[in-house]
């Protein structure tokens, strides 16, 4: 049975390979939030230096035994590995431990699958899922009992069910790619029309859960989906935003960023990300109350650079209502609170000055 019940809580054991200069606290906090966003409770996090990794299972054999013991003594039913695994690594681990195994990519794609609401978002996620499954299919098929089931990792967008059938996956990929092409063409036409009419485009971007959709709602008085979960927004929404002197611009809300965004997703979401590249101005929203906010700014800047978005930015240091200690404010940064509407006029003025 395909399962759309968002409230099912699975119990996860997490394994984090630690790279040389990794900030462990950041990595643990992030993977935990990702698991929670996929409705999984994290029972314990195991970690190991990346140098000790074993090619067959990624996790060193001693550590596998430790995890096995933990699974036996607890009611954990999923292992989440914060790394990209090959099909055979997924299978070897799953066979060894007797539980479903998700890697970082499948986990993020799964969260996207749960959150896809628009037709476009569903097509993009489905394409990413199919590409992921196709490359790992032969290994996953043998573990049907665990992967063919329900819960995290196997949820399709909307009412669809994930298929572990090569022919179906391949033909669906071709169909989905065509659909995305169509969407891209419509986007391009709209863009030309807006350019010709001299309409300015402002895009809201930033780390996931920073408050982008909340800011969008405040600035456009709209009411789109806001949630304290990672990747609540997957599709772009655009609305008019009015500024002073009867001027307006088009404001667009976008999908959140995260470190090591799987390339399957970046490819599938290329049309969404293009929207950022072509904007006249980027509002980079930051959750300053997040203890890792400086790292999050860095991750966002890296992704923006990767997609070639080099234009004007205003950095919105959001959620200052949660701050009880002073923090540094640089040029082009505005301390802000969507909740308390702090500095709303100042932000609108700054947008106006950058555009007109």
Other Cβ atoms within 10 Å of 280 Cβ, number: 16
**Distance from C-alpha of 8 to C-alpha of 349, rounded to nearest angstrom:** 45
Shortest approach of ligand GTP to residue 231 CB, angstroms?
A: 5
242 Cβ contact partners less than 8 Å away, ≥ 6 residues apart: 248
Binding-site member from 91, 100, 104, 212 for ligand GTP (CB under 6 A): 212
Provide CB contacts within 8 A for 38, sequence distance 6+: 107, 110, 111, 114, 152
Assess 337 for contact with ligand GTP (CB under 6 A).
yes
In DSSP terms, which residues pair with 287 in a beta bridge? 318
78 or 116: CB nearest Mg ion: 116
Site string for ligand GTP, 86-125 (x = CB under 6 A): ----------------------------------------
CA distance 116 to 156: 9
Q: Is the dihedral of CA 263, 109, 140, 59 positive or negative?
A: positive
Residue 9 interacting with ligand GTP (CB under 6 A): no
Dump the DSSP string for 164-183. --HHHHHHHHHHHHHHHHHH
Token code pair at residue 112: 């996207």
338 binds, among Mg ion, ligand GTP, none (CB under 5 to 8 A by kind): ligand GTP
Which of these segments, 100-108, 272-280, 297-305, 336-344, binds ligand GTP (CB under 6 A)? 336-344
* Residues from 251 through 270 that contact ligand GTP (CB under 6 A): 256
Nearer Cβ to ligand GTP (40/90): 40
Query: Which residues of this protein are in contact with Mg ion, per CB under 5 A?
Result: 212-213, 232-233
Residue in the shown chain whose Cβ atom is closest to ligand GTP: 256
Helix (H, G, I), strand (E, B), or coil: what is residue 78? strand
Q: Which does 71 bind (CB under 5 to 8 A by kind): Mg ion, ligand GTP, none?
A: none
226 CB-contact burial (10 Å; exposed 0-12 / middle 13-18 / buried 19+): middle
Residue 101, beta-bridge partner list: 79
Q: Does residue 23 belong to the site contacting ligand GTP (CB under 6 A)?
A: no
Binding region for ligand GTP (CB under 6 A) out of 93-101, 171-179, 224-232, 343-351: 224-232
Residue 339 near ligand GTP by CB under 6 A: yes
Strand order in the sheet with 333-335: 237-242, 248-253, 200-206, 281-287, 313-318, 333-335
For the chain, what is the radius of gyration of the CA atoms? 21
- Does 57 engage in binding with ligand GTP (CB under 6 A)? no
DSSP code of 204? E
Binding ligand GTP (rule: CB under 6 A), the pick from 208, 220, 271, 292 is 208
Binding of residue 227 to ligand GTP (CB under 6 A): yes
Residue 157 binds which one of ligand GTP, Mg ion, none, with CB within 5 to 8 A depending on kind? Answer: none
For residue 214, state whether it binds ligand GTP (rule: CB under 6 A).
yes
Residue from the set 319, 347, 351, 354 that interacts with ligand GTP by CB under 6 A: 319
Q: Kindly state whether residue 321 participates in binding ligand GTP, applying the rule CB under 6 A.
A: yes
- Strands (E) in the chain, as ranges, are 10-18, 40-49, 78-81, 100-103, 200-206, 237-242, 248-253, 281-287, 313-318, 333-335
Kindly state the smallest distance separating residue 312's Cβ from ligand GTP, in Å.
20
Q: Binder to ligand GTP among 139, 209, 220, 292 (CB under 6 A)? A: 209
Which spans of this chain sit near ligand GTP (rule: CB under 6 A)? 208-214, 226-228, 230-233, 256, 318-319, 321-322, 337-339
């Amino acid at each position: 049975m395909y399962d759309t019940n968002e409230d099912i809580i699975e119990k996860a054991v997490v394994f984090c390979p630690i790279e040389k200069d990794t900030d462990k606290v950041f990595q643990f906090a992030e993977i935990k939030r990702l698991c929670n966003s996929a409705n999984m409770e994290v029972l314990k996090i195991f970690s190991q230096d990346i140098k000790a990794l074993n090619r067959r299972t990624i996790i060193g054999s001693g550590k596998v035994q430790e995890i096995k013991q933990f699974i036996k003594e607890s009611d954990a039913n999923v292992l989440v590995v914060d790394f990209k695994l090959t099909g055979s690594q997924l299978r070897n681990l799953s066979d060894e431990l007797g539980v479903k195994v998700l890697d970082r990519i499948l986990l993020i794609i799964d969260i996207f699958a749960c959150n896809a609401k628009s037709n476009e978002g569903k097509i993009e996620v489905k394409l990413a899922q199919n590409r992921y499954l196709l490359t790992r299919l032969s290994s996953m098929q043998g573990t049907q009992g665990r992967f063919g089931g329900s819960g995290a990792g196997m949820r399709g967008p909307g009412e669809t069910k994930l298929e572990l059938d090569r022919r179906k996956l391949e033909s669906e990929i071709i169909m989905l790619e065509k659909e995305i092409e169509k969407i891209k063409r419509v986007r391009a036409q709209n863009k030309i029309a807006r350019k010709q009419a001299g309409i300015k485009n402002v895009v809201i971007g930033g780390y996931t859960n920073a408050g982008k959709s909340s800011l969008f709602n405040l600035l456009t008085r709209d009411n789109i989906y806001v949630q304290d979960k990672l990747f609540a927004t997957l599709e772009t929404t655009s609305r008019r935003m009015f500024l002073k002197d009867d001027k307006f611009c088009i404001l667009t809300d976008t999908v959140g960023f995260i470190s090591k965004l799987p390339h399957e997703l970046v490819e599938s979401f290329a049309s969404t990300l293009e929207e950022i590249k072509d904007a006249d101005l980027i509002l980079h929203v930051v959750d300053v109350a997040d203890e890792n906010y400086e790292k999050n700014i860095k991750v966002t800047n890296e992704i923006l650079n990767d997609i070639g978005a080099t234009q004007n930015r205003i950095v919105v240091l959001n959620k200052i209502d949660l701050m009880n200690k002073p923090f540094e404010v640089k040029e082009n940064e505005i301390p802000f609170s969507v909740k308390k509407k702090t500095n709303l006029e100042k932000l609108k003025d700054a947008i106006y000055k950058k555009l007109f």
